[in-house]
Amino acid sequence: MSEPMKHLLKLGDLTTEQIMSILNLADQLKYEYKHGIAHPILAGKTLGMIFQKASTRTRVSFETGMYQLGGHALFLSSRDLQIGRGEPVQDTARVLSRYLDGIMIRTFAQQEVEDLAKYGSIPIINGLTDYAHPCQVLADLMTIRERKGSLKGLKLCFIGDGNNMANSLIVGGIKVGMHVSIACPDAYQPDAAILAWAKESGQFAIGEDIAALVKDADVVYTDVWASMGDEGELEQRKKAFASYQVNAAVMALAKPDAMVQHCLPAHRGEEITEEVMEAHADEIFEEAENRLHAQKAVLVKLMK
């Protein structure tokens, strides 16, 4: 049995066993859900969901997931909370810990998520920061394992911005035994500490040579060129990332049965072509669905 988890702040905090245990539970919950087997494991529990950024998938999948687990979810827009008027995170954490059984937060600074965990007394889940998107990568790993049968030894190539997704894919992918390569402009590399850790693993490559990095990939992954918060740099980024597109020519270099994954939302014609997006729609939308199942597993692990 894996060590119990207290929070999900970033994948770097989890052991390989903990990640695999979440994926196994996610598969089980998905099976039960698809077969009409109710699992009200979190009856009577409430999750608070704090959003400082927009969301479609994260909000709806967490809210629905809590309902399916017999619990309740509260949508808390930071615009309406006192946090938006400057109430410190450490006070918010201590107050909300007295009402809720868990908090999911989407915000800018990773430190804010770490502070909620430090000052609060309930499980905290990172629903995306500028640094990490652990819930997304758990769903990605679940989807890749479903389609490929196992994870160990697979090659995942991420093409694009060295952002929150790149950071979490590097950590999650390497921890489950995948080889991860990142094709990104030198000026937009992932977090330096994550890169240093990844380079030690012997399962990692990074650079600007897209063709070499995507060669024989089992999974090709991409994300937007301008993340939430980066919109002001869009024109500059469009130039920097112009050649970092997942298109038919790039896919021809990957394995013939390579999967495409995209955390969504996608910008067709920028990081991915319409053609590749539609050819791989099944696995991309399965990935979106798996947010629900993977997060239910996280909620059960943390709040049961």
Which residues contribute to the site for ligand CP (CB under 6 A)?
Answer: 55-58, 128, 136, 263-264
Closest contact distance (angstroms) between CB of 262 and ligand CP is 9
Which of ligand NVA, ligand CP, none does residue 290 bind (CB under 5 to 8 Å by kind)?
none
- Separation between Cα atoms, residue 227 and residue 231, nearest integer Å: 7
For residue 155, list its beta bridge partners.
179
Which of ligand NVA, ligand CP, none does residue 227 bind (CB under 5 to 8 Å by kind)?
ligand NVA
- Separation between Cα atoms, residue 292 and residue 29, nearest integer Å: 10
The answer to whether 221 and 140 have CB atoms below 8 angstroms apart is yes
163, 167, 203, 261: which one contacts ligand NVA (CB under 6 A)?
A: 163
137, 165, 217, 284: which one contacts ligand NVA (CB under 6 A)?
A: 165
261 binds ligand NVA (CB under 6 A): no
The answer to whether residue 136 is catalytic is: yes
Q: Which of 7, 261, 263, 295 is catalytic?
A: 263
135 binds ligand NVA (CB under 6 A): no
Question: What residues have CB less than 8 Å from 33, skipping those under 6 apart?
Answer: 39, 68, 293
The answer to whether residue 257 is catalytic is: no
One-letter amino acid of 50: I
Closest contact distance (angstroms) between CB of 56 and ligand CP is 3
Q: Which of 136, 203, 261, 295 is catalytic?
A: 136
Edge-first strand listing for the sheet containing 102-106: 72-77, 46-51, 102-106, 124-126
The answer to whether residue 230 is catalytic is: no
Closest contact distance (angstroms) between CB of 1 and ligand NVA is 32
Residues 220-259 that bind ligand NVA (CB under 6 A): 223-224, 227-228
Reduced to 3 states (helix: H, G, I; strand: E, B; else coil), residue 109 is coil
The answer to whether 22 and 298 have CB atoms below 8 angstroms apart is yes
Kindly state the DSSP code that residue 3 receives in the 8-state scheme. Answer: P
The verdict on whether omega for the bond into residue 265 sits within 30 degrees of 0, i.e. cis, is yes
Closest contact distance (angstroms) between CB of 272 and ligand CP is 14
Kindly state the DSSP code that residue 246 receives in the 8-state scheme. Answer: B
**Using CB under 6 A as the criterion, which residues of the chain lie in contact with ligand NVA when the complex forms?**
128, 163-165, 223-224, 227-228, 263
Residues catalogued as catalytic: 106, 133, 136, 223, 263, 291
